[in-house]
Structure 1
């Protein structure tokens, strides 16, 4: 079973440099919209405006910027359209996430893993090496570990990771062809109207909703909102248990829009417990490890496209009594 307990709830931060490089493809001249760059350094400074020019200069001086073949790029290296430039992300302070991932299944092509709350899947923001991919690369000594799909940093649960670059496309295709089933759980406060109906026996559990609406980016752009128009999202949601006004929900996302289940629960008037984005975006601050988002990717089912084996993997569910 996955370890849902922090090893050490007193988190700490350290400076960090990515163990694996990121890369950017230098745009063609036609894509630069009137701009031109004599050197790679000039492009990097202009493209990554949030990073001071002196930082890029220092990275180049330290040998942390190179071409795909490993050849180092210096301050005078000429711009080469369509070439890949590799660099190593750095942060001054990287938070150590005090929860463990757990490998639930592994074969030659895949790892099925439990991802804990608060741990990002890939590097981003202030997270460089504290991510699921890097942890798995260390644990397995396989540097080709890559995610087959997405799971929000705030969401815990079962994820499919690929190991073999030559078969990776077959697992991506499962999601494109809707040949993989994802089952989620969530905990949320039940609306007063529903509680009243349950109390006077005018309805009974389980209660079911089919939610279809149009989800688009909001402001800020990392949040989403429901707008008028043709539906582009679809979830099946059921309320299966209630205790002290708090409900346990089972959710099946039929489509895969960003934050879809979180937005759909909000649209029902029952936003997921401890959601810092919905219904109101909370001020940016450190993660509260005592209040993880109560959303869990509990189960993953699919027929392995390489081995033909039927996979059905799940983790321990959410604890309604603990939240009530």
Structure 2
């Protein structure tokens, strides 16, 4: 049986869930308030004390802390982030399915799945909670912000574990499409890429250090990422680029798996500013979004036992035309 996560002690507000902060047991501070002042040195201490005095910061038990609450009394504190002025993301998600248990969204390029960094309200999760009036909506998995396509969310408490188990047990069929610059190693007559017949199975050991560092392949270690790569076609895109159009079937789901593995095959995805080369941060480029699409999801419903199939209605802008 799947596990049920203990809900946070504060409710969702304006579609945004509360933030949890771990409190160290020891350090050069005698109160949680002192720790938070040192932890958030960029904030005005008076504003932090005001929020504590107003009861806006609570412990694990849901009761407000005060200026004298000691670190050993709580492992975590919870609070609502103050909503910043946030530039709207001018791309709209599409709901392709919704019932009492599940919501499936067709996400556009450049829209984050969940709050991260400078994105809070302008995310698929927060938009859905507000749009559907359901604070219990929770992501089952995620897509990178630059990636378009299908993302699943649960609609009520207690269902997230059931659907996450499908991914953990590799019982979800995931199909992607990608477009790369046409490599010199593609031979359409023999159907080989750099001498390898297609389709091919790419197995690697991927390591994600976290933070701003990129996912890397560690040769010689037991593979933990597997993708079946096939070619759908090649030709010229509408913008005049010679391109290779690939179909990708994931058997695992590591961070940036497809982006890393296609770069390692010398067919990096068009529009990728991270792999194989980390480029300087730049504004989103509408003319060339990352050419990666989460096209299909298929699984057996954990409650109904029915086979569910979903397909994205989006297309990649750089697919070869007239093929």
Partner of 1:226: 217
Partner of 1:66: 58
CA RMSD, Structure 1 to Structure 2 (Å) = 2.8
Instruction: Report the secondary structure of 1:44's partner residue.
Output: helix
Contact 1:266 1:278 in 2 (8 A): yes
Q: Are residues 1:44 and 2:36 paired?
A: yes
Instruction: Report the secondary structure of 2:37's partner residue.
Output: helix
Contact 1:67 1:73 in 2 (8 A): yes
Contact 2:203 2:224 in 1 (8 A): yes
Q: For 1:162, which of 154, 179, 186 is the aligned residue?
A: 154
Q: Are residues 1:118 and 2:115 paired?
A: no
Tell me the TM-score normalized by structure 1.
Answer: 0.82
Contact 1:27 1:81 in 2 (8 A): no
Partner of 2:94: 102
Separation in 2 of the partners of 1:52 and 1:232? 45
Separation in 2 of the partners of 1:58 and 1:187? 52
Tell me the TM-score normalized by structure 2.
Answer: 0.82
Q: What's the offset of the Cα at 1:257?
A: 0.9
Partner of 1:211: 202
Separation in 2 of the partners of 1:86 and 1:18? 16
Q: For 2:265, which of 260, 268, 281 is the aligned residue?
A: 268
Instruction: Report the secondary structure of 2:246's partner residue.
Output: strand
Q: What's the offset of the Cα at 1:80?
A: 4.4
> Given the superposition, is the C-alpha separation of residues 202 and 314 from structure 1 closer, same or farther in structure 2, using an over 3 Å criterion?
closer
Unaligned runs of 5+ in 2: 1-12, 237-241
Separation in 1 of the partners of 2:151 and 2:205? 26
Note the alpha carbon deviations across 1:90-132, whole angstroms, 9 max, x for none. 4654231111111111111111111111111111110111111
Note the alpha carbon deviations across 1:132-187, whole angstroms, 9 max, x for none. 11100011111000001121111111111001212221111111111111110111
Instruction: Report the secondary structure of 1:42's partner residue.
Output: helix
Separation in 1 of the partners of 2:281 and 2:310? 34
Q: Are residues 1:298 and 2:295 paired?
A: yes
Unaligned runs of 5+ in 1: 1-16
